[in-house]
Amino acid sequence: MARLVAADVPDGAYVNLGIGIPELVAQFVPDGREVIFQTENGLLGMGPAPVLGTEDPELINAGKKAVTAISGAAYFHHADSFAMIRGGHIDICVLGAMQVSAEGDLANWSTGEADAIPAVGGAMDLVAGVKKIFILTEHTTKAGEPKIVACCTYPLTGKAVVDRIYTNLAIIDVTAEGLAVREVAPGVSFAEVQEKTGAKLTDERQIPKTSGVNKDL
């Protein structure tokens, strides 16, 4: 999945990767493309994990893991970092999801349970400010419940913010007309994707897959 996302990131894009699975996208940037990764804790030009033993506890990513800085990187403070995010300067943000709705609402920060410790971090800033929001997630929960739903039941991270969803079963665009399946995984049928989805899908596999996404970045 991370490889499919990476294939849709154009040369020269500025990209923020959410904590967890989305971080894997950095490993799959196709040869010949230069993509600049931002981490909201204050670094543009984040490089791969450091060689074991050379970690610097003061050079970390938003997931608080040790990283490196590429040549041409820049450090900045938090207000400048979020000015970058909230001012619409980042091209793509790849995030995980608990639920995504047919309208592109995203829930990925809280189960809303009474005794949960609420913790939001930068998720609401990213979905409000970044030009394109890509979701990278398993198609269903571990219990088999759909994550793509008509209406989110968990507290929202943002309303109508998601542009595209990459799952283990399909690539789905959030369009003004609803959820449009652009691609399905090998051996998976459109019917199966629909069955495991809590919202109506349309089959738009004939449209070339990169059509609507990259051209206006």
Catalytic residues: 40
Q: Which is nearer to another protein, 33 or 200 (CB)?
A: 33
Site for another protein in 24-43 (CB under 8 A): 34, 36, 38-43
163 is a site residue for another protein (CB under 8 A): no
Q: Are strands 178-184 and 170-175 parallel, antiparallel or unpaired?
A: antiparallel
Q: Give whichever of 106 and 181 is closer to another protein, judged by the CB atom.
A: 106
Q: Where are the beta strands (DSSP E) in the chain?
A: 14-17, 36-39, 43-47, 68-75, 92-95, 99-101, 106-107, 132-136, 148-149, 164-166, 170-175, 178-184, 201-203
Instruction: Name which position in 45, 50, 146, 212 contacts another protein (CB under 8 A).
Output: 45
Q: How far apart are alpha carbons 87 and 105 in whole angstroms? A: 20
Contact call for residue 16 and another protein (CB under 8 A): no
Closer to another protein by CB, 176 or 187: give it: 176
Q: Which region among 135-143, 156-164, 188-196, 200-208 touches another protein (by CB under 8 A)?
A: 156-164
Which is nearest to 202 in space by CA: 171, 177, 174, 181? 181
Positions in 87-146 near another protein (CB under 8 A): 87-90, 105, 115, 117-125, 128-129
Query: Which one of residues 20, 48, 77, 168 is an interface residue with another protein (CB under 8 A)?
Result: 77
- The tokens describing 186, both together, are 């090998």
**What distance in Å separates the CA atoms of residue 179 and residue 101, rounded to the nearest whole number?**
9
206 binds another protein (CB under 8 A): no
C-alpha pair distances (Å), 163 with each of 31, 41, 61, 131, 168: 25, 24, 24, 9, 17
Question: 14 or 166, CB closer to another protein?
Answer: 14
Which residues in this chain contact another protein in the complex, by CB under 8 A? 11-12, 14, 34, 36, 38-45, 56-60, 64, 69-79, 81-90, 105, 115, 117-125, 128-129, 155-160
